[in-house]
């Protein structure tokens, strides 16, 4: 829980600023045109502003997610290097581990508790998995961005 709150405090201002920039970047003429046609403010926001700002909002989400993934040091100091048991539960209050802390643990603390070749193999596999996850997130965001762009252009 402390790691989640730390990342929220670190990344919320960045995400908020990116969202704000995306909303402000919508041309004033588009808003005024919608209002001039007799639409309510809420209708203009829903049908003009948000669809136009959606690519910027998605970019903000992706950048914030990338920053969260990269904030390993903040997690190490707030969550510690917890070694959770092999019992899987949906309880959000139990101590957990993530891939970046897992790699750090294997390269520093874990090097004395397990054979070096095992620690190196497991940390390399964890790093590879982390890279694959990042690639999937990036490719998914590009596909989502293209889909949104086509949808906005078609409307």
Tens digits of residue pLDDT in 71-105: 766 666 665 555 555 566 677 666 666 777 778 77
d(CA 52, CA 80): 42
Please name which of 3, 100, 14 lies closest in space to residue 59, comparing C-alpha atoms. 14
pLDDT of residue 79: 59
Gap between the Cα atoms of 152 and 148, Å rounded = 6
Q: Residues 14-68: pLDDT tens digits?
A: 888 888 999 898 889 988 999 999 989 999 998 889 888 888 888 888 888 877 7
Give the pLDDT of residue 1: 61
- Tokens 């294997």, residue located: 106
Query: What range defines the domain where residue 101 resides?
Result: 2-154
pLDDT band at 154 (very low <50, low <70, confident <90, very high): confident
| Tally of domains in the chain | 1
Give this prediction's pTM: 0.55
């Amino acid at each position: 829980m402390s790691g989640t709150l730390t990342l929220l405090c670190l990344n919320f201002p960045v995400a908020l600023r990116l969202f704000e920039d995306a909303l402000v970047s919508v041309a004033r003429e588009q808003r005024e045109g919608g209002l001039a046609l007799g639409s309510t403010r809420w209708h203009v926001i829903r049908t003009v502003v948000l669809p136009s700002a959606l690519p910027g909002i998605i970019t903000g989400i992706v950048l914030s997610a990338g920053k969260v993934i990269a904030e390993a040091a903040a997690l190490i100091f707030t969550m510690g290097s917890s070694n959770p048991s092999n019992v899987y539960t949906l309880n959000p209050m139990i101590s957990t581990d993530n891939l970046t802390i897992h790699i750090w643990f294997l390269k520093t603390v874990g090097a004395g508790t397990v054979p070096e070749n095992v620690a190196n193999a497991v940390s390399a596999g964890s790093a590879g998995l982390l890279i694959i996850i990042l690639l999937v997130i990036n490719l998914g965001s590009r596909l989502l961005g293209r889909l949104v762009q086509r949808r906005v252009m078609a409307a």
